[in-house]
Chains A and B, each alone.
Chain A
Amino acid sequence: MLWFLRGMRTNFSLPTFILMAAFVGFAGFARESGIEMAHAVFMTVMVWALPAQIVLIAGITAGATLPATMIAVALSSVRLMPMVTTLVPELKTGKTRTRTLVFLSHFIAVTAWVMATERVHRVPRQFRTVFFIGFAMTLSLLNVGVVLLVYLFAARIPAMVLGALFFLTPVYFLTSLWATARAHVVKLAMVAGLALGPLFHVLTPELDLLLAGLCGGTIAFVLARSPMFRPKGDGQ
């Protein structure tokens, strides 16, 4: 229980504020797109991944069919699989039930992943799942609150403010991911992904993230093992 509360308290921090700002932007976008409040809330609870929710709304407003929308959303969400795959070994103990991991995996999205990667190693292993659930469930609920508040109270949000709110997310990811990169391979992967992302976006817009991740990750993995990159020292 103590670690659940400590997890909750982790939300008094810059990343949570930034994600909430991004959700102000999302709710503004959903409302302008003619999505009802109850549907926007249901989406936030059930999907809990901002890019997927934006793709979903784009499909809805374009009048796309259910299968077409599902495929577009699924493509935008592939990135969650490697993120969950790397966080699970850090969270579990030998006794953790699969059911628990399945439940907590729903709350893993980019912000929660970056924050958990940064903080969870300081939590004693047996309390990590409790800590994560306390933190990530609260993060999710806070943003459901943000969506409700924007629908109920916010007048039209000026375009300039929305633009600035949307800019917070990439800059936060860029700096916090770099700050928490302990191993050399992570920094190499970041540089590779930053460079390959736009390239694949132009070449294959549908599969850009997946291909940039696989190619960038492979390049970083191989380079980190080559003697050329070794002497620079890890964690610099």
Chain B
Amino acid sequence: MTFSGIDAWWWPYLFILIAGWFATDFWRYAGVLVGRRLNEGSQAFEFVRAVATALVAAVISRLILFPTGALAETGVVLRIVAAVLGFAAFKLAGQRVVVGVGVSLAALAAGMVLGF
């Protein structure tokens, strides 16, 4: 039952449907069922929003500290420095996202060129 285990044109699609679509949209539909009953501004809403935000924040630090693929070849110190510089620039520029992203990317690129 692996991706290449069954030699039929439809098998990869079925594999993606079950292991990909079902495994992902299951959570989205569960979110609709709960969210339908929540009101903005209620205590329960506030709590779920805090959980959702902390989750996304954990995704952010994972992408910076433990990346996969090509980014994994850069040094962890360089990535942290680039992210911190970007965030500082973002705050100094009156919370402009473009500035933060631009400075971070420039710092990362400079670090890569210099061989960090």
A105 contacts B97, C-beta separation under 8 Å: no
B112 contacts A160, C-beta separation under 8 Å: yes
> Which residues on A sit within 8 Å (CB–CB) of B18?
66, 70
For residue B88, give the distance in angstroms from its CB to the closest CB of chain A: 11
B62 contacts A198, C-beta separation under 8 Å: yes
For residue B61, give the distance in angstroms from its CB to the closest CB of chain A: 4
Judged by DSSP, the binding face of A is helix
Judged by DSSP, the binding face of B is helix
Q: Is A49 an interface residue (CB 8 A)?
A: yes
Interface residues on B, range: 35 or more
A78's contact among B21, B27, B73, by CB below 8 Å, is which? B27
For residue A178, give the distance in angstroms from its CB to the closest CB of chain B: 7
**In the bound complex, what is the Cα–Cα distance between A188 and B69 (angstroms)?**
31
Q: Is A174 an interface residue (CB 8 A)?
A: yes
**In the bound complex, what is the Cα–Cα distance between A101 and B100 (angstroms)?**
34
Given A84-B28, A85-B48; 20 other pairs, CB 8 A cutoff: A69-B15, A74-B24, A77-B27, A81-B28, A82-B48, A85-B31, A98-B36, A101-B35, A160-B109, A163-B70, A163-B71, A170-B64, A171-B82, A171-B104, A175-B95, A178-B87, A179-B97, A189-B50, A213-B55, A214-B54
Using CB atoms and an 8 Å cutoff, list the residues of chain B in contact with chain A: 1-4, 12-13, 15-32, 34-36, 38-40, 45-71, 73-74, 79, 82-83, 86-87, 90, 95, 97-98, 100-101, 104-105, 108-109, 112
Can you spell out 10 A-B residue pairs with CB atoms less than 8 angstroms apart? A49-B24, A66-B1, A70-B22, A80-B24, A88-B36, A92-B35, A181-B53, A213-B51, A220-B50, A221-B50
